[in-house]
Structure formats: structure tokens, C-alpha cells
Structure 1
């Protein structure tokens, strides 16, 4: 019997408008009424995750930043898994040497040093997801995303985290050319050791401490609740979801998931635009 459902957010729980549909909300509520706990597992930070969940009035425990930060349903920290500061600075050095744009995440903030690059990247991403959308709509959608995904622009990220005495929990790097550009940086960063490098889409890499992975975080949370892996269901669409798909006794890949990710899951549901999470939950509850 399933006692815990862990769901990714982007490309999974959320549709392409970054919303949780009414059908998905009803499915989650139905699972909760049946005694099944629901937890989100995302690469997002707290501000970005809460923006979408609050709109849907979903108040659940959250695995954030790929497992580097885990909160209970009241927003209280259960545990963090930071990247040691000096190693984080080495990662930043590599990305700068490779001329790759990146952002850093702490428990409460997302920091960037270049607003224009971020806007350009997201506008291209919106246009890619909706190729028939007019330029005017692309601009409006990008503006909406910037509101939903707030960020702090600072002159010097290293100085900021030192002055604020913050832990660096995740670093994300973006490049529109994808693996062709990111691969060299990824190889150099991986050589630094004790890091987990994954991706939530082809155009980025997400860098965490080796123990900050969704699968590890889901396992720790489940064990704290007395729940075994066989009683866990996980749903995801991309490479940073693989560790939890492998851990869970029951796993679903989204219809829009990467082909390699689908191979890691026991089942494949429909896409995030077709209420894939709701369909997966309904399938399990019916069984």
C-alpha cells in the first residue's frame, strides 16, 4: 500500500503555465483523504516553490533544491545539506572561466549577478515551449515567469553570502546550447569531488553536495515517518528525478519525460499538460 507520494514540480506537477490544475489538486486531496502523504521534490528554492503551491492552496512538506533543504508542512527546516563554501566558490570560478551564466541558492534567497542574461534565457525558453506564440505573448509570459520566480540581483555573490553568513545549497548553470557548452564545465566541476550534478532540462546543470539528491531526501523523510521504500511512489520527468524514481517502490515517469528517464520508471503516465500526476495518483488509488 502506498503511504507517501513524492512528486517533482516543473514538467510534472506543474503544467507549462507553471500551474497545478484543478484535476491534479483534486487527485492530491483524494490521496490525502485516503491517508496518503504528499510531498513535493523539486530543484526550486522555497520562494519559487511556494509561489506555485500557494496559488493552488497546497500546503505539504517540501524537498527543495534537489534535496539540499527539506521543510515540513509548516515551513520549518528538517535538515539542510550545503556545499562547503570554499568548494562552492571553486565551482563558481569554473563557470566564470567557461563563460556560463549561473545562479546560487541559499535557504531563503536566489542570487544572480546578471539580470539581462537571465531575462534573455527565459524568453528563449518560453518561445521554445510555445513556438506558435507571438513575440508580444512571449514577452508577457516571460514577465509573468520573472514575477513567479523572484531573484535577488547583487553585484558580488561571494561577498553577499559571506556577509549574510548563508549556506550555499545549490548552484544552477544555464546555457542555451545545452550539453555542447556545459559538458566541459561539468567535467571540471565533477573533478572537484563529493558533488552531485544533474539536470532539470537539457540547457542546465544543477550542482549540489553529493548527499543532496532527491532520492536520498525522500528516503530520509520516509524513514522518519516509518515508511518503507515499497510504500513510496515517486513521479518525475527529468534527470534530477532519477534517484527518487530508483528509490521508490512505485515510480512514474511523465509522458513528457526524457526517454532515458522513462526507462528508470516502472510506469509512464501522460504529460504534464494532460494531468499526468492526477492520472498516476488515480491509477494507484484504484489499485
Structure 2
């Protein structure tokens, strides 16, 4: 399923960076045994295995963090790096205090729904939470929201109170046609990074914050070169890390733009695409 038919299997991969949703996890949010086996075998070969996700650390499933061989988790689109085993903070890149207040003002003026990520936890407004739980909102997963979101009375007030401490602010919308409109509205904000990990959201991080920048910091600490990195992803927030990887792997279910920057297109997340890429390029199977 390669989009570059002559991609060589002969690769000296020393670090694998994997997106979670739509990539490493199946649609039921579980990680398959084949994927676990492939990652553990890669680790046994001395390869560093890193999760790179838009989720906050507390929202990363324990069945992922407990996989032997997964050493680090890049969280909130690169806002921080934590050690998988105990959550110890390795690196951090937050939204600035002034920039947070600019976003708060935008949210107040626009009335748009938002979530706020602070210290690995994701907070959502009580009304938005209730709308998902009761089924009034159907474009989001009830199971995912109830497991990973903490409802608060006023999420914008929470952001204001914690200005300077925020990892990520995510704006959600039910009408996908609003996405380019909101993206344009956010283009006036300075010293922030705007991306998306889901068709119905836009995410705002700190200046220069991305999975790519966080991975660059981690790779430097580990003594890994760019050409020794393999990254796998499916969404727009994965594109930066795919562009800097020595081997960029897109899922078959990835967005077209993501496939466009990839060296190789593997199978879907439902069909163990990550495991197949690791077996091919790292394990030589």
C-alpha cells in the first residue's frame, strides 16, 4: 500500500513516534495484540518507542502507557513530554499568558465551545458535557468524552484563571463547514500554533508547539538523528512530525494531505497498519 513503491526496507530506525487515535488505536480505542507485540519487539532491538498524541497525559489509556517498551508520551500536540511509566515531566511548551487572554477574549466574543488542557487533564463546559452524555450532540463519542473530560461550570473562566499554565485550547463545532471560517478567525492570533486532530475541532497551542518540535527535543536528548526517526499518523496535527521524520508513514485512513507528505502509506488503524509498518521497516519481517 505504499505511495512510493521503492521505499526501502533497509532502515536504521532508532525512534518510532506514533499518533494514537486513528493510528495506533483501533476505532474502539483499544490497542491490538499484534501492535503490542511489534512495539515490544522493536524495544527489544533497542528502538525508542514514543506516543505522540493530541491527548493530555491523563487521557492516554493505561493499556497504552503500560505497554512494555513505550518509554515516552508527547502530549497535547507537543505541549509536553512525559515518561510513560510515571508521568514525570521531561519537556514543556505552554500557551503564553497574554496569548491565553487573547484566546479567552475570542471565546467570549464568539461564544464558541472550547476545552482547556491543564497539567495533563482536559476540561469541558458542563453544558457541552451534558449535551454529549444525553445524546443531543452526536458528532462526538460519549464514551470518549465521559472517560477523558472533566466538566466545569465555566471553561472560559477556568482558562482565564490559569493563563500561562495551559497546554492546549480546543474549539469544537458541529457543522464542519465552520472549520475554515474559525481557522481564518484564529489567524489574527499571534504567537500561537493552530492545528487540528479531528474533523470537528481546531486546536491552539503555544508558539512553536508541535509534535515535531517536542520530538526534536526528545531525539536530541536520546542522541537520535532525524533520519533515524519513523513517524506514523493520520491527521493534520501529525503533518509536522511526518515532515521531519526520516521515514514518514501515513495510515490508509489518513486525511489526503497527510498521505501527501508521507513516504509510505500503510494499512488502516483497524487493520494493524502501525504493526505492519513496524514489522516491515524496524523488524525486517
Question: So what's the TM-score if we normalise by structure 2?
Answer: 0.87
1:170 maps onto 2:181 in alignment: no
Q: Quickly say closer, same or farther: Cα 1:155–1:85, change in 2 above 3 A.
A: farther
C-alpha deviation, 1:101, in angstroms: 1.4
Tell me the distance in 1 between the aligned counterparts of 2:146 and 2:225. Answer: 39
Is the Cα–Cα contact under 8 Å of residues 42 and 278 in structure 2 kept in the other structure? yes
Aligned residue for 1:152, secondary structure, equals strand
Tell me the distance in 1 between the aligned counterparts of 2:130 and 2:103. Answer: 22
Equivalent residue, structure 1, for 2:117: 105
Query: Between Structure 1 and Structure 2, how many residues are aligned?
Result: 269
1:81-113 deviation digits (Å, cap 9, x = unpaired): 111123223213323433321100011321122
C-alpha deviation, 1:193, in angstroms: 1.2
Tell me the distance in 1 between the aligned counterparts of 2:239 and 2:188. Answer: 22
**CA RMSD in angstroms, aligned pairs only:** 2.2
1:83 maps onto 2:98 in alignment: no
Equivalent residue, structure 2, for 1:246: 243
Q: Quickly say closer, same or farther: Cα 1:271–1:148, change in 2 above 3 A.
A: same
Is the Cα–Cα contact under 8 Å of residues 56 and 75 in structure 2 kept in the other structure? yes
Equivalent residue, structure 1, for 2:184: 187
Residues 140-151 of structure 1: pairs in structure 2 closer than 5 A: 142=142, 144-149=143-148, 151=149
Is the Cα–Cα contact under 8 Å of residues 7 and 234 in structure 1 kept in the other structure? yes
Q: Quickly say closer, same or farther: Cα 1:37–1:259, change in 2 above 3 A.
A: same
Tell me which of 242, 252, 256 is aligned to 1:259. Answer: 256
Tell me the distance in 2 between the aligned counterparts of 1:146 and 1:242. Answer: 25
Tell me the distance in 1 between the aligned counterparts of 2:211 and 2:36. Answer: 22
Is the Cα–Cα contact under 8 Å of residues 232 and 250 in structure 2 kept in the other structure? yes
Aligned residue for 1:233, secondary structure, equals strand
Tell me the distance in 1 between the aligned counterparts of 2:20 and 2:130. Answer: 26
C-alpha deviation, 1:187, in angstroms: 1.9
1:35-65 deviation digits (Å, cap 9, x = unpaired): 1110000000011114452475675200000
Q: Quickly say closer, same or farther: Cα 1:68–1:272, change in 2 above 3 A.
A: same
Which blocks of at least 5 consecutive residues in structure 2 are unaligned? 1-11
Which blocks of at least 5 consecutive residues in structure 1 are unaligned? 127-141
Tell me the distance in 2 between the aligned counterparts of 1:161 and 1:259. Answer: 34
Tell me the distance in 2 between the aligned counterparts of 1:88 and 1:48. Answer: 22
Aligned residue for 1:124, secondary structure, equals coil
1:211 maps onto 2:222 in alignment: no
Is the Cα–Cα contact under 8 Å of residues 82 and 208 in structure 1 kept in the other structure? yes
Tell me the distance in 2 between the aligned counterparts of 1:76 and 1:121. Answer: 38
Is the Cα–Cα contact under 8 Å of residues 15 and 230 in structure 2 kept in the other structure? yes
1:4 maps onto 2:18 in alignment: no
Identify the structure with the greater helix proportion.
1
Is the Cα–Cα contact under 8 Å of residues 18 and 52 in structure 1 kept in the other structure? no
